[in-house]
Amino acid sequence: MASRRLPTVRNTTLSLGPGERDIPLDTAEWFAWLGGATSFSYQGAGGALTVRREQKGRQWYWYAYRTQGRQLQKHYLGRDAAVTSERLRALAAQMSGAGQPAAARAALFGTAAISLAGQPVALGAAKALGLLAYLAAHEQPQPREQLLALLWPDSAGEAARKNLRNLLWKVRAALGEDTVQGTTHLSLHERVWTDVRAFQQAAHAASAAQAAGRALASPHQIIRRLYRGPLLDGLSFGDAADFELWLVGAREFYFERYQQALAALVESARAAQRWAEVARIAREALASDPLQEPAHRALIEAHAHMGDRAAALRQYDALRDVLQRELGVAPLPETEQLRLDILSGDMPQAAPPAQPPQASPAPLIGRGAELAAMREAWQATAGRAQVVALQGEAGIGKSRLWQAWLAGLDARPALLAARCLPMTQHMPLAPAIGLLRAEPSRERLLAMASFTPPSWLADLARIMPELHAPAHPLPTPPALPPAEEQLRLFEALVLGLGLAPGQPAVLVVEDVHWADKATLDWLGYLTHRAQAMPLLVVITYRPEELPPALLGLVAAWSQAGLLRKIALGRLSRDETAALVASLVGDLSQVEQIYAQSDGNPYFISELAQAAPGDIPVALTDLIASRLAALSDEALQVIQAAAVLQPETDFFMIQQTSGCDDATLLRALDLLQAAGLLRDDGERYVFGHPLIAAVVERGLGSARRVLLHRRAAAAWERLEPAQLRLAAGRMAWHYREAGEGSRAARYAEQAGDQALALNANAEAAHFYQMAHELDPHPARIFGLGLARYRLSELDAARACFEAAVQGYEAQDDTRGAAMACLELARSFLGTGDVGKVQLWVQRGRQHLADEQDPVEQARAAYLLGASMRVSGGSLAEAASLLRRAYVLAQLGKAPQLLLDILLEQGNVAAQQGDLPLAIQFYRTLVAKGEAADEVLVRVIGHNNLAYHAMLLGDMATAHADIDAAFALVERHNLMLTRQWLYSTRGEIALAEGDWDAAEAWLRRGMVLAERYGNREHVATYHANLAMVARGRGDVARAATMLEEVRAEAEAGFFLAQVELRLAETHQLLGDAPATQAALARAAALLAGSEYGWLKAWLARLR
């Protein structure tokens, strides 16, 4: 009997056999055919598959099969709608090995942590972790029989082999079939990252540098970062004595290397006289081995050099006691001598660190007026913070100008300097994070984290995870809305960088035209916050590349009187001659240099020092000619550095360039001697940004792909906390490497991270990238959330609608319901009740089968809130909210319960039932306190104060507003102050304290205007009108209220304004105006359930 031939898909066409018409994929006919098919064969550029339809439960799904070696692979495809040409091609490539599997990570120092594609994996069996650790520690494949003897010494041969097969199955099932390779000899696949292997590579790099006579801190820092405790800490293998013996030896080996790395770092910091860093590293060494006398001595010395003699002597006493108690010996003679030097005040001063030879900068020619303008700006900082904007083309000397000005100051202020780069312009707060991680900020922050840390350090740890110190856990920041969390982070950045009143400082942000939106927002916050600080912010940019956000910030600074713009022009012919003379002394080529450079200082410097012969016409050509003269090794290294910017430390360059240690060291020496790179102590930076740009543009396509792929692999070796923050870099590298699927996954993670930081423009960029590279409803939904926060409502709604359709096509009812409810929420803010109801009902249809009480509660809550906001039936709103509360309790959704309670209080207040509203708000405060929800408590106390005031209970009003202010001050909240100032002002109004009322209201109005809260600004204007009326300026009050009325939209607030106008016109004796205001109020309140306002209207009539 002849075998039945399967229908075959070749690339994008289905062939059914002789006499049958071919069917193109991704057409209606293709999906109709799938509905009745059971299997087919796929053959494409990515590989071949057999695809079968299988029943799971009550549904049918497609699965792809492929045999590789002796292994049968199976992968889920999905329902009919998921079987597209692109999905088949990608899956075939992945299953054939052309697509790279997800990266597995095994952190084995300390408590073991295993993950796959960023998600935790529980292996369970201790011997599975032991196998991973043993294979990671050995670079060569290990004999299978040796592993059997190590792990199951008491088991018979076949039983031991079965145990190993089961163990390998468990590891491969969790982390991928190719995790452990080989049959007779086993090894870990290169895609499996382990901290053990990374530790060993760093140790080799340190040894190679030492053999070459170089002192490199980077490998030691890597060892220090990777070592989280003993190998497989907490695990023991009592039934495998030989393995236990190996593990004990391995733990000692890695601990010794860790201690050696700390000792090297101490020596490096001591040589540079970074005494706080010496103290911090010495404490870390002593925490793991308190008998280390050299670490004690380093800590004693550090305390002495930092001026704390008492702490130095206490540390000596602690050393003496521990040595006597544990070993019965006295401190070494050199330690005793150090103590005597401290007692006598004759501390030996460490010699200043040797500096590598630096090329002397070109003299500053023709910038007298610009220097004078910078001096004036600095003098003005005595009153408040100032901003200098240096603008000009590349190479015009913006950096040289501020450096020359700074060098000419008599008293040097603290300097913080960062540079923005094209590759980081969508990564939230990238320049600020760079400043935090640079010395001395990083040193100071880590020292803080080692003791009792301030609360704001926990906010900073969101972007600097290395601040988490196990010995002193950071407090958990309160859960707050994204905008409030961002302001807390901005404040933490100010404190983290050491900016404070009375401490002169200069903050330089270069190439700010490439700054991300969050960094620009922080700079705006900083200059507003630093009104009492002697701070000069210097930004540099190219005027032809200004983005809208930077234009807006510059305009705001100018309007506030903070900004001095300094435009740098090109040098004249005489100035060019002066510069050439100062550089080479030979003026014979001045005319040619001036003609070719057109007065650009950097081009002049390069041309003047270029080799004789044909001089390139363009500056970029001149740089390219310098690069062409490099050796292959040096060119390879500088290309890696260009791709990696700004993370250009030794380890990352080594991993990306592919050079061994000795080759890399030679190449770096050559590049520094040529002035193309320079060593700033922590990383290698380009001599000028143009060099990096020319190198990057000169990369061939194959070379570019290779470097970006290597860079991504190097990033994936980071710890999980750091890898999460690097998701944007990973997305960029994988996209440039042509790996769209992996780039999309990291871009989505970067979008999530940016959204958590309220960096919404950056989040939108990454979600858009992810969706374009690999479309998925979750990514277009994330883009919608970012657009919604950016107030781009039409774009956000379009994204949410696309997400609904995408989820529905995947039969993902929960996802579709979530997108529907977000659409409903977007219409809630604009009061479009019809659209709210439409999308809530559609979401409810998707929830019908799931009976999810939380999502049902959310739907009822949105409907109820829309009723109140739009002026609909308050009774119906109250009923919906009661149902929502019951469902949220059933679904155990505490955050949603708090939202519902707040809305119930608002509804009761508008109905005029103030005691019931107060009851809801009091419950809200109690539940917020139980859940540690700070913002909920603040809002609850604020609303209690306001409604107690309306009832005339001033004692309660004062008590609650005081409680709200105490919480705001304790937790450093920003946004909520605008509402608290309003309530405090209205309480003063009710008490007739007009001066206090005006003071509070004006403070609040400044905040409301700053945060763009137009509705609240109108409320402040209306209340200030009441201040004027209270002081007897009734005519002025009437004018102000008329102005507010003209801008207000119909609803509860406008009705309030009309009633206040009626009262005011009545005081003026203007009966027609009074009657007109009452009539307008009556029209607004007709058919409404605003009981409190209706009672007010009745009293006036």
Identity of residue 867? M
Rounded CA gap, 1058 and 1084, in Å?
A: 9
For 434, 455, 743, 746, 798, the CA distances from 766, given in Å and listed in that order, are 21, 31, 10, 9, 17
Rounded CA gap, 353 and 583, in Å?
A: 28
The answer to whether the CB of 761 falls within 8 A of the CB of 791 is no
Q: Which residues pair with 68 in a beta bridge?
A: 71
Rounded CA gap, 764 and 252, in Å?
A: 48
Identity of residue 649? D
Environment class of 818 (CB within 10 Å of its CB; exposed 0-12, middle 13-18, buried 19+): buried
For 109, 284, 1018, the CA distances from 254, given in Å and listed in that order, are 9, 16, 66
Q: Which two tokens stand for residue 657?
A: 């360039």
State residue 718's pLDDT score: 67
Which residues, at least 6 apart from 99, have a Cβ–Cβ distance to it below 8 Å? Answer: 46, 90, 93, 741
Rounded CA gap, 439 and 798, in Å?
A: 46
Identity of residue 585? G
Strands 505-510 and 414-419: parallel
State residue 1's pLDDT score: 36
For 345, 631, 1039, 1049, the CA distances from 1064, given in Å and listed in that order, are 77, 85, 10, 20
Measured CA angle at 40 (ends 38, 43), to 5 deg: 165
Rounded CA gap, 62 and 25, in Å?
A: 15
Q: How many CB atoms lie within 10 A of CB 253?
A: 13
Environment class of 975 (CB within 10 Å of its CB; exposed 0-12, middle 13-18, buried 19+): buried
Identity of residue 432? A
The answer to whether the CB of 651 falls within 8 A of the CB of 205 is yes
State residue 879's pLDDT score: 92
H or E element that contains 74: strand 71-78
Q: What is the pTM of this model?
A: 0.66
Which residues, at least 6 apart from 851, have a Cβ–Cβ distance to it below 8 Å? Answer: none
Rounded CA gap, 493 and 488, in Å?
A: 9
Assign residue 1074 a region: left if phi > 0, alpha if psi is -120 to 50, beta otherwise?
alpha
Residue 194, SS3? strand
| Phi, psi for 978 (deg, rounded to 5) | -65, -35
Rounded CA gap, 881 and 972, in Å?
A: 32
The answer to whether the CB of 964 falls within 8 A of the CB of 929 is no
CATH number at 954-1100: 1.25.40.10
Q: How many CB atoms lie within 10 A of CB 660?
A: 12
First to last CA, the chain: 99
CATH of 626-699, one of 3.40.1190.20, 3.40.50.1860, 1.10.287.130, 1.10.10.10: 1.10.10.10
Q: Which two tokens stand for residue 750?
A: 């970067």
Identity of residue 96? S
For 90, 857, 939, 940, 992, the CA distances from 899, given in Å and listed in that order, are 44, 11, 11, 11, 34
State residue 924's pLDDT score: 92
State residue 983's pLDDT score: 93
CATH of 370-569, one of 2.40.110.10, 3.90.1640.30, 3.40.50.720, 3.40.50.300: 3.40.50.300
Q: Which two tokens stand for residue 558?
A: 């100018």
With CA atoms as reference, report the closest residue to 737 among 716, 770, 707, 766. Answer: 707
Q: Which residues pair with 67 in a beta bridge?
A: 72
With CA atoms as reference, report the closest residue to 97 among 70, 78, 73, 115. Answer: 73
Identity of residue 12? T
Q: Which fold has domain 101-272?
A: Arc Repressor Mutant, subunit A (1.10.10)
The answer to whether the CB of 868 falls within 8 A of the CB of 856 is no
- Return the residue matching tokens 């020092």: 609
Which residues, at least 6 apart from 470, have a Cβ–Cβ distance to it below 8 Å? Answer: none
The answer to whether the CB of 63 falls within 8 A of the CB of 50 is no
Q: Which fold has domain 775-851?
A: 1.25.40
Q: Which two tokens stand for residue 61?
A: 């799904």
Rounded CA gap, 907 and 751, in Å?
A: 36
Which residues, at least 6 apart from 143, have a Cβ–Cβ distance to it below 8 Å? Answer: 184, 185
Measured CA angle at 482 (ends 477, 487), to 5 deg: 70
Rounded CA gap, 178 and 190, in Å?
A: 10
With CA atoms as reference, report the closest residue to 1059 among 1099, 1091, 1017. Answer: 1099
| Omega cis (within 30) before 481 | no
274-345 classified as CATH 3.40.50.2300: no
DSSP state of 156: -
What is the DSSP code string of 379-445? HHTTTS-EEEEEE--TTSSHHHHHHHHHHT-SSPPEEEEEE--GGGTTSTTHHHHHHHHSTTHHHHH
Identity of residue 750? A
Q: Which residues pair with 181 in a beta bridge?
A: 187
With CA atoms as reference, report the closest residue to 1034 among 990, 1064, 1062. Answer: 1064
The answer to whether the CB of 773 falls within 8 A of the CB of 740 is yes
Rounded CA gap, 1001 and 980, in Å?
A: 10
Assign residue 366 a region: left if phi > 0, alpha if psi is -120 to 50, beta otherwise?
left
| Mean pLDDT per 10-residue interval, the chain, length 1101 residues | 68 83 83 87 77 77 73 73 76 61 76 75 83 89 88 84 86 80 86 84 74 63 81 83 87 88 86 81 83 88 81 85 84 86 66 42 82 92 89 88 90 88 87 83 69 74 75 71 83 85 89 92 88 90 84 88 91 87 77 81 79 59 78 90 85 85 82 83 80 85 88 76 77 89 91 88 93 92 90 89 90 87 82 80 74 82 81 86 90 88 91 91 91 86 93 93 88 80 92 92 84 79 91 91 83 85 90 91 82 84 77
What is the DSSP code string of 495-563? HHTT--TT--EEEEEESGGG--HHHHHHHHHHHHHTTTS-EEEEEEE-GGG--HHHHHHHHHHHHTT-E
| Phi, psi for 459 (deg, rounded to 5) | -65, -40
Measured CA angle at 349 (ends 346, 355), to 5 deg: 175
